[in-house]
Chains A and B, each alone.
Chain A
Amino acid sequence: MKKFVNDPKQYVPEMLKGLALANPDTLKYVPEYNLIMRADAPNDDKVSIIQGSGSGHEPAHVMVVGKGMLDGACPGDVFAAPPMDYVYETTKLLNSPKGVLLLVNNYTGDRMAFDMAQEMSLADGVNVRTLFIDDDVAVQDSTYTVGRRGVAGNFFVIKAIGAAAEEGADLDELVRIGEKVNSVTRTMGLALTACIPPAKGGPLFELGDDEIEIGVGIHGEPGRRRAKIAPSDELVDILLEPVVADLPFASGDRVALMVNGLGGTPISELYIAYGHAHEALAAKGIEVVRSYVGEYCTSLDMAGASVTLVKLDDEIERLLDAPAEIGYRVF
């Protein structure tokens, strides 16, 4: 394993420190709770939006803290849900008269930490609601799991409610919008390689040179099946077909299309994938009106990609169009 790592135990704190040093005017870092928050939060005139999750998904979620996006993110260690205290203390620190909205990717540990933090915050008199994101179509049998996972689609929920919160929408309205966006968002991912968590120092699973893992989540957990590598267009079809079939997306639909890299795939390859996805959708009469290509929700250094579709209506399209500012990239 060759990485820019000092001590694996300091992986997350050192990342957060760097992020804070790079954005001194806009972000504030509270090391006790891994909290990255907007320097101007909480704002009395807007609902505070908080996302936790594990680390290792960057830019999600600490790097999408900013105007029109998250007010704070308090991740746990790599691939581990945050301890309940992180969420509870973050909720108190970012408490606004307009309330607090907790966003949770639907994974067992995250659900438990956020459920407990919400219970304690409500007991303290904080006006807090929780929204679960579950866009992953790879998980079909919900009787075996807590349900679908929340993966790259979380970006669209954050973007839409972030914009609405900036406009002054109240907590009920944000919950309504968030649930609506989540209900029309679908994602499927595949891995070309396993990722290497720094604390483990080796790959999470063995994948042959000619093998791919289909239906992966965002924690390097194995997918539902393994297959042979194929040309990019075929890989994109493997991802796109179950996504299109699931909602289902149909001719005449207007959509946002995201091709998300999982951390170890070059942007050039993501555009190769995007081009085919765009054309394949057009061939079905589905119009792509907003496009997202790059890394939004990663799995450390995993090579691979996920495809997300969001069925748009006027309200969602307007909220996705609204301006937002994050420190992650500056041009």
Chain B
Amino acid sequence: MTDQQLADGAQLLDERAGDAALEAPNYDNDFDVIIVGAGLAGTAAALTLANRGLEPLLIERGTYPGAKNVFGGVLYTPTIRELTDLDSAPLERYIAEKRFSMLSHDDETAVSLKPGAWNREPHNDSYTVLRGDFDRWFAEQAVEAGATLVTETTVTGVVREGGGIVGVQTDRPDGEIRAPYVVLAEGANSLVSEGANLKETESRKNIAVAAKEVLEFPGNDTAIEDRFRLVGDAGVSYHYFGEGAVGEAYGGGFIYTNGDTVSVGVAYSLDDAATKRQSPESTLNLFKSHPAVAPLLRGARTVEYSAKTIPEGGAESMPDLVHDGAVIVGDAAGLVLNNGVHLEGTNMAVESGYYAGSAIAEAAQKGQTGAEALESYPDRLENSFVVQNLERYAWLQERVEEDRELLFEQLPRAIADASTEYFRMDRSPKATHANAAKQRVFDTLGGWTGAMKLALRYRKLVK
């Protein structure tokens, strides 16, 4: 936020409510849309609305947008690029390599992808960012487009009239604010939506818990370039699965390279964390100490520790997105795709905010606030990559859950053992090693029949 914008905001407060403005902003009916939460979904909605000439009010409970936000590390930017100019965005590094790694107790088996095209603009629209920087910048773009941002204000409930939502209640004195539309973009811990009976509390089976650290390498300016084999602004996303990554739980570990730091974390089933007594902190420690991970992090110092829940219920557990006078977007709507190969959510948040903003702008033109007038939001979302991807992978989540012992424990161990056999150095012929290696994997899969069954179970993956 520039000083000028802050001064303008303060002046606005004073003009509208006199000296007590900061105590009790009286914004009643001054705005077209109230947006709860200045994360990526809320800000995308605000930017879309401001770009179309409407006056949105963006309410954030933190001291600035992004102050309370946490995520793994990669932001996919095609939609943001549509909404605003990315040139001044605080991007850390572009993703030049994706690496998928299976960790058993002390083995690693990895696949690495490094397409040359990712080194060229627009870098596959994949960048590491830090939310404290990025969300603040993104909200600034919305303010410059005409949105009003109020921070340090918590929305505690919605205001209803005749069944429809006509505003929000904040924790400021006299803090009721009315507007024709409300966008609920409050994230995974969606207390307002739940309090208003717009969604149910998500079952813990559909929630992942994540613990993350941002690490720096004191006294070693080239640690990141050297260890991750990077040149210039290139960066990596490393994904880890298996018992070496998250013990007996269902989930994974990650490393993302930022400019001068790396983000390291684990995200796994909250249900597993509870039933298997696996605390997020100890799981993170275990992951960082794995023989394949520790050398990448040696000598690092923790500059930030954070934690977050991630809604992973998919399409099935999406709440109704549209109500009379209100829509739900982003994490609050459960728009996260985390199936091991694709780890997405922030791009879905932006997409949903964009469609929600567009739908409201269209309804506002007709002066309608009813749910049916806002239906173009869920309609467009369903035809977009967001819901199509969620639906495509819904069955995969189920399958993987059913086969998880095989996929995350037995198979990685068998593959590691097989590699050990295949490349074993002794005086027997290669054929002996190859047979022994094959046998290891087949024993795990239950022979040809087992392998065929497994292939059939996952055939939709390549369709």
A and B held together in a complex = no
